[in-house]
Structures are given as structure tokens and as C-alpha cells.
Structure 1
Amino acid sequence: MSVAPKRPKGPPLNAMRAFEAAARHVSFVAAAEELNVTPGAISQHVKTLEDWSGVALFRRNAQGVDLTTQGRALVAEFTVAFDRLADATRALHALKPEPVFHIAALPAIAQLWLPKRLSRIRARFPNISFSVTATETQPSLARELFDLAIFFDVPDGSPEQIVIATDEIAPVCAPDFARRSDGFEGVTLLHDQSWIDDWATWSDAVGVRVSDPASGPQFSLYSLAVEEAKAGAGVLMGHLCLVQEALAAKSLVRIDDLSCDTGRSLVMAVPPQTRQRHATMDIVSLLLQ
């Protein structure tokens, strides 16, 4: 009679993934954003791992979490393991007969900068299907199945980051609104919620007084604020690389020639060369044109 003894079980993979992300960020909140779950779910997964191992991996406190000595000792091995798993997943994904080319982009970039360029790329690569995910959080191309990410960021000089343009801002509005306005006193200022400091940044940089740079309606999408500016609802602080088509079409005009650099740039991030698709750099070249 054969014997089939119970074999020891390891901890759940999701619990290990949650620990690795939380340990890498030293934050349950940042790990939750990366894995698209709640901080409570990360906490529960980590507790599962702690119960299985019998040791505390994090210290919880009012300011957040800190790794214990035991937790810190595991970070490097867990990170290498999940990097290798990401490599294997990407290799498996590349075996699909018609793999999709996935692009992640900030919503404003996906709506205002990417469409015309993507149309040109589709014409050049008719056999590739392109998918665009608009997200506020820049993904990790080492871990997630994105082939390209386009965001505003501070350039780090790495070969995986290609600078498209500096992020310059300047006031823009509808042509008729520009003819009616005289300076910024009493003028409705339009804001994107994510860039609520734009007016104060510009005012301080160029030395033009704006009585209350935080006043005026706010929009959750920059593209909505752009449409309101086109409709004559007020003056928007234009990110020039995003409103260049509207400026060229004269649906928006600049009020003056004063602009300032936010310190960020519009950049494309690509995976390390060994993880890139065959057409990746050709697609990047077309986007840069």
C-alpha cells in the first residue's frame, strides 16, 4: 500500500508578493498602489507571512511601518526572486502569436499628446495591436507588462529614460478671451487638481503678480481644463508640450511670452534592453518625431 504523506506547504504567493513590494517601498500604501489593492489587503498578506514564519517582519507605528531586522534580511532575495518571475512572465507573454504592445501614460498625455502620434505608429506597424492605459501612477517596467511608459518626471540620465521635452508652462486661453482680458486681475483661473500649484510656480518664476493663484475652478482631468479654456471659461496654465496642437490650431493662444520650467520633463521609459520587444526602439523613434 502506497503512502502519500502530507507535504509541508509554503506561504501563499500573493502574501510573498505583498511583502516584497511593501519591503521595497517600506510602505503598505505604496505597495498597495503598485499592486492595485488596498493597504489593508497588504497588511493582511504581510500578517499571513508573519504568522507562517513565526517572526515579525514589520514594526507598525503611527508614522507607518519599518522593517524589522528579520524583514530587512529578506528584501534582497525576495526582490531578485520576483524580478526573475517578472522576466519569466514577460518571456511567456512574448510567445503569444500577436502580442499586444502596452503603453502606460499619464491621462493628460494619453488624451492630448499621444493620439496623433499613435495613429502614425499604427500605420507603420499594422500587424501590432496597441493598448493604452491611462494611469496617474507610473508603473514599474521591470515588473509590469508594459512596453513603454510616458510621464512627466525628473530625468535621471539612465538609458531606459528618453527625454521628449522639458515641461514648460505658460498661461493660455481662447483667442476671444485674450482680447477681452487685461492682465490677471479679476480673471478666472483654471486648474488641474494634480497641478494645483502651477499658477503659483509660474507667478514666482516670472515675477508676474497673481492676486490669488489658488482661486478658480479645478478639474480632475487636464483635458477637461483645456476644453474649458478653449470655450472661454478662463485662463489655464498650459503645459506647452500638451497644448501645442491647440496652439497651432489657434483654438488656444498664449497671453504673453513668459514661460517657466517646472523642473520636470516629458519622458518615455522603456524596459531594460534585454526585456524590450523587437519594435520598441522603432516605436520610440516615431514618437519622438
Structure 2
Amino acid sequence: MKRTHLPLNALRVFDAAARHLSFTRAADELAVTPAAVGQQVRALEDTLGVVLFRRTTRGLELTPEGETGLEPLRRGFLEFEEAVRAMRAGQTSKTLTIAAPRDVAGRWLAPRLAAYAARDPELRFVVLAADGGIDFTEANLDLAILYASGPGDNEGVALDDGTLMMVGREEGGAEAIAWPGWAVTEGPRVLTVADAGLAIDAAAAGIGRATVPALLAAGDIEARRVADLGRQPGERRYWLVAPLPQWRQAKVRAVVAVLTGD
């Protein structure tokens, strides 16, 4: 069944004018001019083919047609308000699903989510491993962290400036530790591991030196597990990303603000 196009703005103006029985007071409520209220009412009357108000010596009065439609209209507006509340309640649910590379999830994301959750005991997080590409159309995701040159087709904000750091133990070996984000093409390579986090662990064990995102190594430097042996710019960064519909959600905006320090 085809739905009738509803002139919702004009109906809202009609409701305000009917409550006040005054175009002037309705205009004050709606923050428009009395002329605009009158124009909307006349347009609604033309659309419906009825007269809704008449002017008398006592002021503005509703016609029988206006009286007949007013109560169902107000019930309808209450239903609209209930629908909006329901949609907002779903959008502001306390559960948020984030996909992130395993090393980022453990070294960087988890401590920040724990601190955020401590401020609100109702918060719940689901963290999924994302060591490859992310497809928001196939996963029930609110947000993802990617190591890439940009956010791609999604909305996004960079979590770091792309700086790479060489880490290792002062007394450890000088051989390079490779991982998918850092291919060793020159000199001796002692080990290849699955991600930057494992590269840091290998460097901390004295096996060799790893060149990894400074974002991931910061905690290990602070804990003196490894030493900062030099820095250089990188072509990729960690990006916090989501499609525009998810990005607009209040719960996503809140966690983005926390993770980016805004």
C-alpha cells in the first residue's frame, strides 16, 4: 500500500496554532514569524481541501474539521516521539564492538578501554581480531583500527603521526626482526614474526632489533623492556575508522573522543 505524503512541518504548525489559538503565540513557540505560521496553515488547508481555522470577534477558533483531526494528530506526534526515543536508546546502547590488530588491542587499546569503562560500569566492549582487512558490511562492527596510509572509504581519525621506532636491548643482538609491516631487505635478519607486538617481545628478549610503530612501543619503552634506538617517519599510521552511519552514533563519538584524547 502506497503511503500518503504527509506535510509534517505544516501539521506541526497547525498543532501549535490550535493549542494557542493564536498565530502569534504559535510563531513564538516555533521561532518563526506569524506570517510563516499563517502561510503553513493556508498551505495545509489547500492540501486537505478544508478550512481549519476561522476568525471571530473572540479571536481564532478551530472549525469542526480542525477539531476532528486534532486529537489523532496529537496521538501521532506522541508516537513519533516514542519512535525517536526508541531509536536513540538503541543508538546509545552501552555495548560497542571494535576490531583491531591483536598487538594494538593488547598493547594500546585494552588499557584505554579499561580506563574508560572504569568511569561507567555499564559500558561493555567487544574487541575482535582484525589482522587483515575489515568489511563493515559482513561484521557487526561499530569501529575499527587499521594500520594504513589513510582511512580509505570510511570516516576516520589518525591515532599517531606514523613515526617508526627501532627498539631493542642495549646488550642485545643487532640483527633485524621482520614483521609484515617492516620487511627486512638489507643486512642480516634473525627472525620473522606475525606482528609488531611480537617483534617488540623478541627485541625485549635480546634476539635482535625491531622497527615498529612508536605508538605500540611507548609502553615497553616506559617499562624499560626495550630501549629507543632511533626513529624515522613511516608511510602508514594507525587509523580509527567507521562508515559514516556508525561514525555519527553518540556512543562511537564518545569512544573516539576518549581514544584520541579530545
TM > 0.5 fold call? yes
Deviation per residue, 1:143-184 (Å, 9 max, x gap): 53111101112225877111111222232102433xxx6xxx
2:226 counterpart residue number:
252
Conserved 8 A contact 2:99-2:141? yes
What CA distance in whole angstroms lies between the structure 2 residues aligned with 1:160 and 1:224?
Answer: 29
For this pair of structures, how many residues does the alignment match? 175
2:104 counterpart residue number:
109
**1:162 aligned onto 2:135:** no
What CA distance in whole angstroms lies between the structure 2 residues aligned with 1:115 and 1:159?
Answer: 23
Structure 1 vs Structure 2: percent identity of aligned residues?
A: 20
Deviation per residue, 1:181-220 (Å, 9 max, x gap): 6xxxxx322122x2242x44xxxxxxxxx534xx221112
The alignment's TM-score, normalised by the length of structure 2, stands at 0.58
- Structure 2: which 5+ residue stretches go unaligned? 1-85
Letter of the 1:266 partner, please give it: Y
2:147 counterpart residue number:
152
What CA distance in whole angstroms lies between the structure 1 residues aligned with 2:199 and 2:142?
Answer: 29
SS at match of 1:152: strand
1:195 counterpart residue number:
181
**1:216 aligned onto 2:190:** yes
Conserved 8 A contact 2:91-2:251? no
Map of 1:269-288 to 2, 5 A cutoff?
Answer: 269-273=241-245, 276-288=248-260
User: Are residues 110 and 275 of structure 1, via their aligned partners in 2, closer, same or farther at CA, if it must alter by over 3 Å?
Assistant: closer
2:199 counterpart residue number:
225
1:267 counterpart residue number:
239
SS at match of 2:128: strand
Map of 1:51-66 to 2, 5 A cutoff?
Answer: none
**1:132 aligned onto 2:108:** no
If you compute each CA radius of gyration, which structure gives the higher value, 1 or 2?
Answer: 2
What CA distance in whole angstroms lies between the structure 2 residues aligned with 1:268 and 1:278?
Answer: 16
What CA distance in whole angstroms lies between the structure 1 residues aligned with 2:92 and 2:229?
Answer: 52
Query: Offset at 1:266?
Result: 1.0
SS at match of 1:237: strand
2:116 counterpart residue number:
121
- Structure 1: which 5+ residue stretches go unaligned? 1-90, 182-186, 201-209
